Amino acid sequence: MTIQPIGRAEAFADAAPAAAARPVPLLSVIAPVKDEEVAIAPFLARVRGVLDAVCAGEPWEILFVDDGSTDQTAAHVAAAHLQDRRIRLLSLSRNFGKEAALSAGIDHARGRAVIPLDVDLQDPPEVIAEMVAQWRAGHDIVYGVRRDRQTDHPLKRITASLFYRSHNALSRDKIPEHAGDFRLIDRKVADVLRALPERNRFMKGLFAWGGFRQVAVEYDRAERAHGRSKFNYWKLWTLALDGITSSSTVPLRIWSYVGSAVALASLVYAGLLVVDTLVNGTAVAGYPSLMTAMLFLGGVQLISLGVLGEYVGRILIEAKGRPIYIVRDSLGLEE
């Protein structure tokens, strides 16, 4: 293992000479992992057979990105690497989040096509064969679409549908409904993603933003086979906010319209008060109506400041210019 406290550009510069001497894999499967020690062996047992069949003698690789695991995930991957050098490991210095781990995998994957795939096996690896067929037919991105979400909790199905609809209504970069990170992307698409400098990453939005020729492949999603999900509703809510704010400024524009509407309504109401005073004389203002107006306007201002704060916070992160991730250890990347 080697210690590499580096970010994105340095990783490519250091890896370039070694990469030139190695055969380029046909496929690179990227598997971000966080405390998934029980899932490594079943995942490899299933995925290796699929890749052997699909690649038909051409080289392939599986790149695990350990996103700050606290169990024996890295040790299990290292043991698998000793048996099969096509299995590689990239360990990050701490938990940077799945979007950063996925970016790290894309940065270091060497294949002519790259496939992000979760180790929980909910997305069936067998679909890779159909993805490769569509890729060879000329498509640059082949994304998986779930036929239904019956394996998800009802609340998650509702909130996921609401997010996709909200995102696509607010953003020009349309995300296919019921499509996750499971997809095949061509090398030229991966190179575009590697070149993007932004720190706040929402990968589904970046896949959509890049364009290229895209096609969907439908599949049935299974129950999680091993371990448990690391996502909770708070993390999903945060991811949804990142997705909307990273790909659209419409929320800011909405509050400009809301402010204009409130100001116009205030002018109309002020005019009505003037007319009423001229006709009926001065009346004592009521406490309930005054408090209602103050609370309403105060609430509007706080919400608009909150929306503005979301964007300002992201500007701060981008201005700092810190790397998206830091590599602690790697195994097999130098071979």
Q: How many helices (H) and strands (E) does the chain have?
A: 11, 9
Residue 221 DSSP label: P
Greatest Cα-to-Cα distance within the chain, rounded to the nearest angstrom: 93
Q: How many residues does the chain have?
A: 335
Q: What pLDDT, on the 0 to 100 scale, is given for residue 30?
A: 92
Give me the tens of pLDDT residue by residue for the chain, a chain 335 residues long.
333 433 433 433 344 444 445 788 899 999 999 888 888 889 999 999 999 998 888 899 999 999 888 888 888 998 888 888 899 998 898 888 888 888 889 889 888 999 999 888 888 899 899 999 999 998 999 988 887 666 555 666 666 667 666 666 666 667 777 777 888 989 988 888 888 877 777 777 788 777 788 888 888 877 766 656 555 555 665 656 665 566 666 666 676 667 667 666 766 666 666 676 666 665 555 645 665 666 667 667 777 777 777 777 767 767 777 777 888 887 777 76
Q: What pLDDT, on the 0 to 100 scale, is given for residue 6?
A: 37
DSSP 73-118: HHHHHHHHHHH-TTEEEEEESS---HHHHHHHHHHH--SSEEEE--
Query: Looking at the whole model, is its pTM more than 0.75?
Result: no
Residues 6+ apart with CB under 8 A from 175: 164, 167, 168, 204, 205, 208, 243
Residue type, 161: S
Q: Find, among 198, 204, 167, 200, the residue nearest to 182 by Cα.
A: 204
What is the DSSP pairing of strand 60-66 with strand 87-92?
parallel
What are the CA-CA distances from residue 32 to residues 142, 164, 205 (Å)?
A: 19, 23, 18
Q: What pLDDT, on the 0 to 100 scale, is given for residue 283?
A: 56
Residue 124 DSSP label: -
CA angle at 326 for the pair 119 and 203, rounded to the nearest 5°: 50
CA angle at 162 for the pair 309 and 198, rounded to the nearest 5°: 45
Q: What pLDDT, on the 0 to 100 scale, is given for residue 18?
A: 44
88 C-beta neighbours (distance < 10 Å), count: 24
CA angle at 93 for the pair 247 and 14, rounded to the nearest 5°: 85
Q: At what angle do helices 127-136 and 40-55 cross, to 10 degrees?
A: 40
Q: What pLDDT, on the 0 to 100 scale, is given for residue 166?
A: 66
Q: Find, among 119, 71, 121, the residue nearest to 95 by Cα.
A: 71
Q: What pLDDT, on the 0 to 100 scale, is given for residue 333?
A: 75
What are the CA-CA distances from residue 45 to residues 90, 110, 188, 216 (Å)?
A: 20, 22, 30, 26
Helix/strand/coil (H/E/C) assignment for every residue in 157-197: HHHHHHHHHHHHHHCCCCCCCCEEEEEEEEHHHHHHHHHCC
CA 32 to CA 116: how far, in whole Å? 8
